[in-house]
A and B are shown apart, each in its own frame.
Chain A
Amino acid sequence: MTVKLGIPSKGRLMEQTLAWFGDREIGLSRAGSDREYAGAVSGIDGVELILLSAGEVPRELAAGRLHLGVTGTDLVREKIPLWRTQIETVAELGFGHADLIIAVPKFWTDVETLDDLDAVAARFRADHGHRLRIATKYHRLVREHLQSAGVADYLIVDSQGATEGTVKNLTAEAIADITSTGATLEANHLKVLADGPILASQATLFASHVTPWSEAEQKTLTRIADMLGAKLPEAFI
């Protein structure tokens, strides 16, 4: 049996992942054309490469259909409530750095931290008759973060893309999104709250506890870890 390794199927994240494994003598490439989502593996036996959307990697790991998968920490945390018991980090890949942050309009000079956001939300609700809206696709992470900080009178509104535009379009008062350079926030006249990101994310190689590992697959994993210079989590040794 083969170890099924899932990696992002497009963009910079895919290219960097291919290069990262390549640097460690594990050759990953797309089989055939650019449009085909099957992959080829060289430098190690017993590994099957599967290309899929980075957003689907967490689900496939949790469902036991992948042994290994590369995706962002943010996606694992948002999509798999039981991630601590179902999935384990094998290696942080050192790219795809992004923070999940809360941002507000830059002209809100009175708002720097969650202390301010909470106070402003109370006032906003009194003035406008509805709660202060925060646009995001990371509903669970944002809600848990605000709940643990005791912030009230906010409303999470769903935004699956172009989230930075929602404030100007009057569909939200603040946003929570992944940012790496902050350029998009700046261009949309938004600024990040100063009390730290909700989550610091990077591209990470995860192993699934849900997927059954045969002895042969386990051996392959040990070999992969050797080649990557990664220390295997205890459960996999």
Chain B
Amino acid sequence: MVLGKSLSQDGAVRSAAEALFATFQAAGAMPVETAMLQPADTLLDLYGEDIRARAYVTDDPVLGEQMLRPDFTVPVVQMHMSGGADPARYAYMGKVFRKQDAGSGRLNEYFQVGYEVFDRSAPEALDAEVFVTFAAALEGIAHTAVVGDMGLLTSVVAGLSTSERRRAALMRHVWRPIRFRRLLDRFGGAAPPLERNTLTDDAPEIGLRTKADVTDRLALLAEEARESPIPANELSAMDAILSLAAPAPDALARLETLSGNLPSLRPAVDRLARRFDALRKRGIDTEALMFEGSYGRTHMEYYDGFVFGFSAGDIGPIATGGRYDALTRALGSNGAIPAVGGVVRPDLLLQARSASS
């Protein structure tokens, strides 16, 4: 019977989740719970309107709009920022809820088991700790791991030889490849600057935005049109990073070469090298580890440094995670703390296990 089967599957998934939860606690994490209903405001402020396409929204007459938690990271960070121990390691387990594209066949509610580390000590060692914790969860399953580092792209953007305004505009869209590319085309001279008409008196000033705001922006656009384009070598370095996909040692060598001409990339490449060392020390075969320069760019928006994902054949990603220092800054009213963590899906883990046995 279909119902009976799905119930027993649910039971198996829960058992697998509990086993993972126990493993993470044994690794030193404190178990935490978060509310299933999250205030929509916080999530909307972080992710913007796009989140409405992915999260279920409901309404409370007193509390206002609430969302069924689409992930644990945000509430766990909030909990930590409002008085957690420093350093701290947390483990959690429970369901998350996501609207899925019509016809995609993806589940709209599923278990996640997570492990998060809030710690100010050597970040690369902690990145490696989190990675091996998830690698251990996949032990016995033929899997592939991909790593990336959003910090490479953001370092190059931060070091571009152009105005602060252009750098800020690019940084704002690091996670939106289409808009990022449009801005690059314009700032790099591949597309013409925006030319707009001057303000006239034939239309009244309506709404919150004022005529002064319009005049200000017109002045900025004029200024921008006079700016020289971003140098070609910086643009090509960015393209090289974004299209990079190679085993870790080759990728590192490639990035070393790039940073020779681009000093702003140097610290991020050094961090990457230290991270690969830390992974090796923990027994990871980095020769077999794939590095992708664009990994984490489209659907892991709060990760701003190390990113990783594990999959098994076409099942996956089974586990994903990364570093999200900026999220703690955005959510913490007083200060930030470096943080790295990830989640694993016990249902996919079970699927992969039965596929590989």
- Give the B-binding residues of A (Cβ under 8 A): 81-82, 85, 105-112, 115-116, 118-120, 122-124, 127-128, 131, 139-140, 143-144, 146-156, 167-168, 170, 172-173, 189
Known contacts A116-B194, A150-B173: does B49 contact A156 (CB below 8 Å)? Answer: yes
Given A143-B50, A167-B206, A119 contacting B217 (CB threshold 8 A) = yes
- Asked if residues B204 and A152 are in contact (CB atoms below 8 Å), the reply is no
Whether the Cβ atoms of A154 and B203 lie closer than 8 Å is: no
B209 in contact with A120 (CB, 8 Å): yes
| Bound CA span A109–B218, Å | 8
Question: In the assembled complex, which residues on chain B have CB atoms less than 8 Å from the CB atom of A173?
Answer: 207-209
Give chain B residues whose Cβ lies under 8 Å from the Cβ of A156: 49, 52
**Does B103 count as interface, using CB distance less than 8 angstroms?**
yes
Complex Cα–Cα for A108 and B211 (A): 8
- Bound together, the chains give a CA A153 to CA B47 distance in angstroms of 9
Judging by beta carbons under 8 Å apart, are A150 and B178 in contact? yes
In the complex formed, the residue of B with least CB distance to A150 is: B179
Q: Are A128 and B208 in contact (CB-based, < 8 A)? A: yes
Given A154-B49, A167-B206, 15 new contacts (CB under 8 A) = A81-B102, A105-B209, A106-B203, A107-B211, A109-B197, A109-B199, A109-B200, A110-B221, A115-B182, A116-B194, A116-B196, A120-B209, A150-B173, A150-B176, A173-B209
* B178 with A148: CB separation less than 8 A: yes
Total residue contacts A-B, CB cutoff 8 A: 104
Residue pair A107, B102 in contact (C-beta under 8 Å): no
How many residues on the B side are at the interface (Cβ–Cβ under 8 A)?
38
Question: Given A124-B209, A146-B49, do A151 and B203 touch, yes or no (CB 8 Å)?
Answer: no
* Cα A144 to Cα B102 with chains together (Å): 13
Interface pair B196/A110, CB less than 8 Å apart: yes
Min CB distance A153 to B, Å, is 6
What are the residues of chain B within 8 A of A127 when measuring CB–CB? Answer: 213
State whether A107 touches B44 (Cβ < 8 A): no
Listed A/B pairs (12) with beta-carbon separation below 8 Å: A82-B103, A105-B207, A107-B205, A112-B194, A116-B194, A123-B213, A127-B213, A128-B208, A139-B52, A150-B182, A152-B48, A189-B204
Q: Are B207 and A167 in contact (CB under 8 A)?
A: yes
Q: Are B169 and A82 in contact (CB under 8 A)?
A: no
What's the Cα separation between A173 and B214 when bound, in Å? 13
The residues of A that contact B52 with a CB separation of less than 8 Å are: 139, 143, 156
Q: Which residue of B lies closest to A148 (CB)?
A: B178
On chain B, the residues within 8 Å of A143 by CB distance are 49-50, 52-53
Give CA–CA (A123, B176) in the complex, Å.
18
Cβ-defined partner of B209 (8 Å) among A108, A144, A151, A153 = A108
Identify the closest chain B residue to A121 (Cβ). B48
Which chain B residues numbered 204 to 255 have a C-beta less than 8 Å away from chain A?
Answer: 204-209, 211, 213-214, 217-218, 221
Q: How far is the CA of A146 from the CA of B49 in the complex (A)?
A: 9
Complex alpha-carbon distance, A127 and B204, angstroms: 21
- In the complex, chain A residues whose CB is within 8 Å of the CB of B357: none
B172 within 8 A of A: yes
Chain A CB within 8 A of B198 CB: yes
Per-residue A-contact encoding for B40-63, CB less than 8 Å = 1, 0 else: 000010001110110000000000
Rounded to whole angstroms, the CA-CA distance of A58 and B31 in the bound complex is 48
A143 to B200 alpha-carbon distance, docked (Å): 31
Q: Which of A128, A131, A152 gathers the greatest number of chain B CB atoms within 10 Å?
A: A152
User: Quick check: B196 and A109 within 8 Å, CB to CB?
Assistant: yes
Please tell me if the beta carbons of A115 and B48 are within 8 angstroms of each other in the complex.
no
A107 proximity list for chain B (CB < 8 A) = 199-200, 203-206, 211, 214
| Contact (Cβ within 8 A) B53 A147 | yes
B177 contacts the other chain (CB 8 A): yes
Contacts of B194 in A (CB 8 A): 112, 115-116
**Given that A115-B194, A150-B179, A173-B207 are contacting pairs, would A109 and B214 also be in contact in the complex, using a CB cutoff of 8 Å?**
yes
CB distance from B301 to the nearest CB of A (A): 10
Which among B48, B198, B207 has the highest number of chain A CB atoms within 10 Å?
B207
Whether A152 and B172, one on each chain, are in contact in the complex, defined by CB atoms closer than 8 angstroms, is yes
Residues of chain B with a CB closer than 8 A to A150's CB = 173, 176-180, 182
Inter-chain CA distance A123–B209, complex, in Å, is 10
Docked-complex contact B203 and A149, CB < 8 angstroms? no
Q: Is the CB of B178 within 8 A of A82?
A: no
Cα–Cα distance between A153 and B169 once the two chains are bound (Å): 12
- Known A152-B172, A189-B203: A147·B196 in contact at CB below 8 Å: no
Query: Is the pair A147, B179 in contact by a Cβ cutoff of 8 Å?
Result: no
A124-B49 Cα distance, complex, nearest whole Å: 15
| In the complex, residue of chain A having the shortest beta-carbon distance to the beta carbon of B99 | A81
Selected from B103, B169, B172, B206, the residue in CB contact (under 8 A) with A105 is B206
CB distance from A143 to the nearest CB of B (A): 6
- CB contacts (< 8 Å) of A139 on chain B: these are 52
A131 to B209, CA, bound (A): 12
**B214 contact from A110, A112, A152, A153, Cβ within 8 A:** A110
Question: Complex formed: what's the CA distance from A128 to B211 in Å?
Answer: 15
Closest 3 CB pairs of A and B: A150-B179, A106-B203, A150-B176
Which residues of chain A are within 8 angstroms of B204 by Cβ–Cβ distance? 107, 189
Complexed CA–CA distance, A149 and B176 (Å): 9
